[in-house]
Structure 1
Amino acid sequence: MERAVIPRRVLLLTAAIAVIGANSLALSPIAATVATSFPGRSAADVVTAAALYGLATACSALLLASLSDRIGAERALVRALLGLSASLGVAALSPALWTLVAAQALAGLAAGVALPAIYTLTAQVAEKGRESQTLSFVLTGWTLSLVVGVGLAALLADLLHWRAVFSLLALAAVGLALGVSRCHDWGVRTVGEAPSSTLKALRIPGIHSVLLNVAAYMTAFYGLYTYLGPYLGEVLQLPASFAGLAIAVYGLGFGAAAPLGRLVDRYGATAAACVTFAGLMLVYLGLMAAAALPPVLLGLCLAWGVANHLGLNLLMRQLAEIDPAQRGAIMGLYSAITYLCVFAGALLYRPIFTHFGFAACAWASAMLVLPALGWALGQWRRKQAALE
């Protein structure tokens, strides 16, 4: 019976990631359609809502994520999902663009609470010895949002109306809130002194090095990902469908890596980290070398998705194990850094892309993974020394 309950909890968490991710990714491809509902507005004006969503998510993760430690991650997730549903409902009914922008900002505040709560619950419900496998499964929610959510949003916008996209996501968020509230066995929460602020988690010994690795890792990804589309379209003069295919292939690789989480549990996180970060560096260097070869780029995008999934899994697992009593606050810091790196990556990589090209961006990403590889090798050496 217990084995039947665990998959249901994990599925709820995966679905919650998918809904949150779908909202964050869906606005860009339907921006032009949304703009037609607001006279005098352009697609660029609509994308402002997506930018504010990301900024609000980062701020919320910094200021509100510690709620998971104070009231319990499951209660925080239910409240966040209800807030997300209300925000998306307002977005669906927006009479003016400023209403849509405000609604997306409120949705970002809810997402900043929900994401750390989801990662906290994932650590709580994971069976001993299956932590990475469980986290890998939950992370496939991002693949669902990228591959299924974006495509479904575009289809609904074409067949019905863009308002149907946000209406459906609002209903899904309510259904998930109900499902989470009715599932009472969310594992044992580590009891301790919960931080009054997410920022206080920065005092935890050993957290700074991991967060710096996360910041470099995320900047490497978002910086290169941001300019992949412009490179394929403007420099290589490939159709937009090819750029969409490259992103879909990346998403499929990210999702296909989920079963590999069991290998991390089997062989240990330290050994897996050395192999994963070294492999990711090779992928980035491969993207640099094959920048002018579109078919090879597609294959490397698949490998990119696989390596990125495993690297993300390892960094999040390391954070989750630092201090279980403050796991919500720690995951809040992780979420805040992630969304800040969306802006940082685009900003820092722009002059590199403009003056030196996509290949230079790929090289920069490889160098940004170097600290994580050095950290993993250091962990491995210490482990080997302890065994001797």
Structure 2
Amino acid sequence: MKPVWVLMCAIAVVGANSLVLSPIAADVALDFVEKSAPDVMLASAVYGGSTAVSALFLAPRADQMGLKRALIVALVILVIALFISALAPSLDVLTFAQGLAGIGAGLALPATYGLAADVSPKGQESATLGKVLTGWTLSLVAGVSFAAVLADLLHWRAVFGLMAALSAGLSVLIWKMQVPQRAAVQAVSPFKAFRVPGLLPILLAVVCFMSAFYGLYAYLGAHLTTILGFSTGMAGLGALTYGVGFGMVAPLDRLIDRFGATRAAPVVFGALLLVYLLMAVCAGQGLAIFGVCLFWGAVNHMGLNILVGQMSALSPSQRGAILGLYSATTYVAMFVGTAAFRPVFETQGFAVASVLSAACVAPALISALWTLRRSGHAVVSAAE
């Protein structure tokens, strides 16, 4: 198996675990006395928080350990955490296991991205990384959707058992993988990247973008099953259509290169705000939600492309530290969004939670418009 496909599968397993609880939350809750789907989603929030901490404090050590060894260690941690999840006798144990899984994920992601560059043919680093990143689409289209069906046919515990087995198999494949040797380097703290000009506004946009996504996605499955009465397998279609939308819009990424991220950002964030408002309108209309999920995935793909591209371009010499902050910020937003949206979903419903997501995106849209205006003024001043 080619190294690039192994690394893509590693991303897919990490991505699937981060998103799998939403469509199966109602089934998981049935196994625990007096627990509800929102209670189960607390485990997802803990996973996000744990991943953020790991990305800050463990990921910078990956270069010191060696990226290959770091990824194997991360996958072994995931194997243990996922088997504990599969056997969890209580929700507290499941939550602990997901926290442990977050430690592995926070180490796995930067190690995987770094290995993608190591195994890439010279001059094809971006193309190789692009293939590895499709693991996120694979996690949604195949992983999460199949997990929902598997939970319907067998049991939700089989989902975590299967992911644990896949993680174990991947650790063996990575152990056998030939990777060029790199000289050991000194770990650099991501906190030093805060001094890079222009970083904080983009991090604000990341917080807005990710809180809006994870906060609403966390309760999509519960809304489809407990409120609209869909089966767990049907609830998985939400993740499936989102993933299809996320993947099918990839050819349009070249438009961002053509017009520039600064000009594209207001359009994309404005479209995303409208998508969340449309989700609120369609919240009670059953199958219409799946159609909105398709557009949701497409617009989110463009938004992620803009954010990661802008952060990567800020300071090439500090790219690793900057992307470490990006990963940490993403999972802090996952933790905060999942936790903060819970009382809104429980008391006001999914439609109001969708409006809250639109409100979360609004600051990112305003910041993008302000940046565009500043860049326009700069061009005029230069011309004068």
TM-score, L = length of structure 2 = 0.77
Specify the alignment match of 2:246 in structure 1.
254
1:118 aligns with 2:108: no
Residue identity matched to 2:376: R
Specify the alignment match of 2:376 in structure 1.
381
Matched residue SS, 2:228 = coil
C-alpha contact 2:16 2:143 (8 A) present in aligned 1: yes
Mapping for residues 99-248 of structure 1, pairs under 5 Å: 99-121=93-115, 125=120, 131=126, 137-157=131-151, 159-160=153-154, 162-184=156-178, 194-195=187-188, 197-226=189-218, 228=220, 238-241=228-231, 244-248=236-240
Q: 1:387 to 1:240 in 2, by over 3 A?
A: farther
Q: Distance in 2 between matches of 1:285 and 1:97?
A: 33
1:305 aligns with 2:300: no
Q: 1:288 to 1:130 in 2, by over 3 A?
A: farther
Q: CA deviation at 1:267?
A: 5.4
Map Cα deviations across residues 170-226 of structure 1 (whole Å, 9 max, x no partner).
23223333444444457999x98631x333333334322221111111122233434
TM-score, L = length of structure 1 = 0.76
Q: 1:375 to 1:174 in 2, by over 3 A?
A: farther
Specify the alignment match of 1:279 in structure 2.
271
1:82 aligns with 2:72: no
Structure 2 unaligned residues grouped into runs of 5+: none
Aligned residues: 376
Residue identity matched to 1:26: V
CA RMSD of aligned residues (A): 4.1
Q: Distance in 2 between matches of 1:49 and 1:226?
A: 11
Matched residue SS, 2:187 = coil
Map Cα deviations across residues 36-86 of structure 1 (whole Å, 9 max, x no partner).
777x57466655543432222122122212123444544432321232223
Matched residue SS, 1:240 = coil
C-alpha contact 2:42 2:339 (8 A) present in aligned 1: no
1:54 aligns with 2:41: no
Q: 1:194 to 1:151 in 2, by over 3 A?
A: same
Q: Distance in 1 between matches of 2:255 and 2:181?
A: 24
Determine what percentage of the aligned residue pairs are the same residue. Answer: 48
Specify the alignment match of 1:23 in structure 2.
17
Q: CA deviation at 1:112?
A: 1.1
Residue identity matched to 2:108: A
Structure 1 unaligned residues grouped into runs of 5+: none
- Pick from 341, 345, 352 the counterpart of residue 357 of structure 1: 352
Q: Distance in 2 between matches of 1:365 and 1:186?
A: 43
Residue identity matched to 1:252: V
Q: Distance in 2 between matches of 1:163 and 1:233?
A: 18
Q: 1:315 to 1:363 in 2, by over 3 A?
A: closer
